[in-house]
Amino acid sequence: MADLSVKIAGVTMKNPMIAASGTVGFGQEYGALFPISTLGGISTKGTTLHRRPGNPPPRIAETPAGLLNSVGLQNPGADAFLAEELPRLKQEDLVVIANLAGSTLEEYVAVVEKVSDSDVDMIELNISCPNVKAGGAAFGVSAACAAEVTAAVRKVCKKPLIIKLSPNVSDIAEIARAVEAAGADAISLINTLLGMRIDIRTRRPILRNNVGGLSGPAVFPVAVRMVWQASRAVKIPVIGMGGISSAEDAVEMMLAGASAFQIGSALFADPTCPVKILEDLNRYLDEQGIASVTELTGMVNPY
């Protein structure tokens, strides 16, 4: 059996499969369906300094091969995360990545400072949420802002720092380089692509927020392209996500340049898919005679 372990920014994960933020909560609900330690890591629900109620419903709309969501970072706040969710998660054999967000530079710094003092393994900074007005997405769409928030957070962050990038930009390589220069230990991408759907009878948007973030298989080729472009622009590890729903997709994402991958929306149709993806990944590696999954990273042979 091939070696599935990977090392991202000094943190070893027993396999490269991470559950994506916002789709698994804090792991408890899916833990009733499969051992949550099947995962190499979990990126917890986007957490802010103070609790947030989120957007009014409807918050989800199905699309061809995907879905739009506009949850709006509903979360219990950093204190509740640290007191109620983290201790339970830390008993599991997996890497805990705290996904953090804010509306202002000060809020980003404050939440990172607070969570950085806990025993989370890594911090993933969401500078790309499209669903809240001052939702951090503003930080993710310009290289200068992305670098500014990364540098500010870096000063107070005692954990390996992953910056999660927005796909709603024209030059992903430029942003990736900017956050690397500002001190990021890794980058993850893609967050959701801004989208919209309209009910043709009521002439109202389906989402109460009018617009929302697109995820699922529909975004997969966009994600592969962006991971490829970003990974060629930086030396730090890249965590790839967006539309992965099979081991084949995961391998493709790693060949494009990812050192690890995240699974999000695929859980909704197939809640135990991580178990199958891991089995299939193992089989693929054995069939191909690959000794370590790390041998896939960036090994696409482009024209």
Ligand X SMILES: Cc1cc2nc3c(=O)[nH]c(=O)nc-3n(C[C@H](O)[C@H](O)[C@H](O)COP(=O)(O)O)c2cc1C
Secondary structure of residue 18 in the 3-state scheme: strand
* 271-301 burial code (b ≥16 CB/10 A, e <16): eebbeebbebbbebbeeeebeebbebbeeee
Shortest Cβ distance from residue 11 to another protein (Å)?
24
Pattern 12-31, ligand X, x by CB under 6 A: --------xxxx--------
State which of positions 134-173 bind ligand X (CB under 6 A). Answer: 164
Residue 25 CA, distance from chain mean position:
13
- Residue number closest to ligand X, CB atom: 22
Pattern 64-103, another protein, x by CB under 8 A: -xxx-x-x--x-----------------------------
CB closer to ligand X, 2 vs 8? 8
Q: Does 203 bind another protein (CB under 8 A)?
A: no
Among positions 9, 107, 211, 271, the unique one binding another protein when judged by CB under 8 A: 271
Residue 255 CA, distance from chain mean position:
18
**Strand locations in 121-270, DSSP E?**
122-126, 161-164, 186-189, 193-196, 198-199, 204-205, 211-215, 238-240, 260-263
Inter-residue contact 246 to 274 (CB < 8 Å): no
Pattern 252-291, ligand X, x by CB under 6 A: -----------xxxx-------------------------
Cα distance between residue 106 and residue 122, in whole Å: 20
Q: Does 243 bind ligand X (CB under 6 A)?
A: yes
Candidates 9-17, 79-87, 241-249, 250-258 — which segment interacts with ligand X by CB under 6 A? 241-249
